């Protein structure tokens, strides 16, 4: 049985879709270059940028090309840059010592970018050990080979200090250790860095989509991260992580990955009064690039559609490897 309301439809939503100008006028969400943050990798000792095969178009920068990438991002209107260090293989060890060396690659990169763009671009740094450990975990291991939460916190406190000493504006703890935001806040405050902000990776899921990142930072992980990153099956758990991060002093919170977790993002965004970020991660990038390279999807439209979806779900800031390219188009 169908109900008829009259010969002609009384309401015609299509009227507002008739022309590009009309669609532009009624658009509810708009991307802006200042929504975007560029994640960038810098490789110690590299003479040339090294392409990342699983992320066509993304490279491990040299110190020099990183500075250029920062300037390009700034000129395109991008809001910030999130730096990841790739140390020389020989410098990796069980404790991730290179991560707390004041002259470690990430600290050097922070100083380089700061010298180049000053405070014009928000300079952020990944605060995690996996780039620097030989076993590839985000923390240090106990005698049984398990990631030791509290021993890792001590390492994170040291990392926060060296990154802040190097001049970073925002640290991004991504290791999912319990209590990491509180310990980092204390470490920053005790060392005179009370103005350095914390972008907490609040809801971070144990995701298959981090795959290409391993190549990007040259990490070979032994085992998996399921004892510290969240189970994709859980939503409520993210609200608990959120409560803890806010109580410990997070200035901004992040959901990661983005596309498979838009429900988490929407829920976090409606629950908080701090800025909310989403990270469109390596595997999300690779998926679109691979399909586009095969001619299966329209690359540019797909990129815009994913970013618009992330914004619609509630993100104020989006970390994306396409940041500079997209900012130029906007």
Which of 91, 92, 256, 311 is an active site residue? Answer: 256
Q: How far is the CB of 285 from ligand PBG (least distance, A)?
A: 7
Of residues 133 and 161, the one with the C-beta less far from ligand PBG: 133
**Is 241 annotated among the ligand-binding residues?**
yes
Catalytic residue among 91, 114, 204, 226: 204
Angle at 139 between CA 191 and CA 57, to 5 degrees: 95
Contact between 282 and ligand PBG (CB under 6 A)? yes
Query: Which residue among 132, 213, 261, 322 contacts ligand PBG (CB under 6 A)?
Result: 213
The span from the CA of 287 to the CA of 216, in Å, is 15
**Residue 256: active-site member:** yes
| Interacting positions 46-85 with ligand PBG (CB under 6 A) | none
Residues 112-171 that bind ligand PBG (CB under 6 A): 126, 128, 130, 138
241 binds ligand PBG (CB under 6 A): no
Residues 6+ apart with CB under 8 A from 222: 135, 136, 137
* Of 116 and 291, CB closest to ligand PBG: 291
Residue 226 is a catalytic residue: no
Is 225 annotated in some ligand binding site? Answer: yes
Residue 281 binds ligand PBG, judged by CB under 6 A: yes
As to burial, measured by CB atoms within 10 angstroms (0-12 exposed, 13-18 middle, 19+ buried), residue 158 is: middle
Coil, strand or helix: which one is 251?
Answer: coil
- In the complex with ligand PBG, which residue's Cβ is closer, 116 or 178? 178
Q: Which residues contact residue 248 at a Cβ distance below 8 angstroms, ignoring those fewer than 6 apart?
A: 179, 180, 181, 182, 185, 200
Q: Residue 119: CA atoms inside 13 Å, Cβ hemisphere, count?
A: 2
Least distance (Å) from ligand PBG to the CB of residue 101? 17
Judge whether 214 is annotated as a binding position. yes
310 SS3 class: helix
Query: Within 13 Å of residue 227, how many CA atoms lie on the same side as its CB?
Result: 11
**305 marked as binding residue:** no
Cα separation of 256 and 279, whole Å? Answer: 5
| Cα dihedral 196→307→24→270 (10° resolution) | -60
- Two tokens, residue 119: 């405070």
Tell me how far, at minimum, the Cβ of 171 lies from ligand PBG, in Å. 12
| Rounded least distance, CB 199 to ligand PBG, Å | 12
Exactly one of 41, 132, 156, 210 binds ligand PBG (CB under 6 A); that residue is: 210
Instruction: Give the residue ranges of the annotated binding site.
Output: 214, 225, 241, 282, 321
Residues in contact with ligand PBG by the rule CB under 6 A: 126, 128, 130, 138, 174, 210, 213, 225, 281-282
Residues with a known catalytic role: 204, 256
Instruction: Give the residue ranges of the annotated binding site for 5-aminolevulinate.
Output: 214, 225, 282, 321
């Amino acid at each position: 049985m169908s109900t008829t309301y009259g010969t002609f439809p009384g309401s015609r939503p299509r009227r507002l879709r008739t022309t590009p100008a009309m669609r532009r006028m009624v658009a509810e969400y708009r991307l802006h270059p200042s929504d975007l943050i560029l994640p960038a990798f810098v490789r110690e000792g590299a003479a040339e940028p090294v392409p990342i095969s699983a992320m066509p178009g993304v490279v491990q920068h040299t110190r020099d090309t990183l500075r250029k990438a920062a300037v390009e991002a700034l000129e395109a209107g991008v809001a910030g840059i999130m730096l990841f260090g790739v140390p020389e293989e020989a410098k990796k060890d069980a404790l991730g010592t290179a991560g707390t060396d004041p002259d470690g690659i990430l600290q050097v990169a922070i100083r380089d970018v700061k010298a180049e763009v000053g405070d014009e671009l928000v300079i952020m740094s990944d605060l995690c050990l996996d780039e620097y450990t030989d076993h590839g975990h985000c923390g240090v291991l106990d005698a049984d080979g398990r990631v030791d939460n509290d021993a890792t916190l001590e390492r994170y406190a040291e990392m926060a200090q060296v990154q802040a000493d190097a001049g970073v504006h925002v640290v991004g703890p991504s290791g999912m250790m319990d209590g990491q935001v509180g310990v980092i806040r204390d470490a920053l405050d005790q060392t005179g860095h009370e103005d350095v902000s914390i972008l907490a990776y609040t809801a971070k899921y144990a995701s298959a989509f981090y795959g290409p990142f391993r190549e990007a930072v040259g990490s070979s992980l032994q085992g998996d991260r399921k004892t510290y990153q969240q189970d994709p099956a859980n939503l409520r758990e993210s609200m608990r992580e959120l409560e803890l991060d806010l109580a410990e002093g997070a200035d901004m919170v992040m959901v990661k990955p983005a596309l498979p977790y838009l429900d988490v993002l929407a829920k976090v965004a409606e629950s908080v009064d701090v800025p909310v970020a989403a990270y469109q991660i390596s595997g999300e990038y690779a998926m679109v690039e691979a399909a586009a390279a095969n001619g299966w999807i329209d690359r540019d439209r797909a990129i815009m559609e994913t970013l618009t979806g992330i914004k619609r779900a509630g993100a104020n800031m989006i970390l994306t490897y396409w940041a500079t390219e997209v900012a130029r188009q906007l």
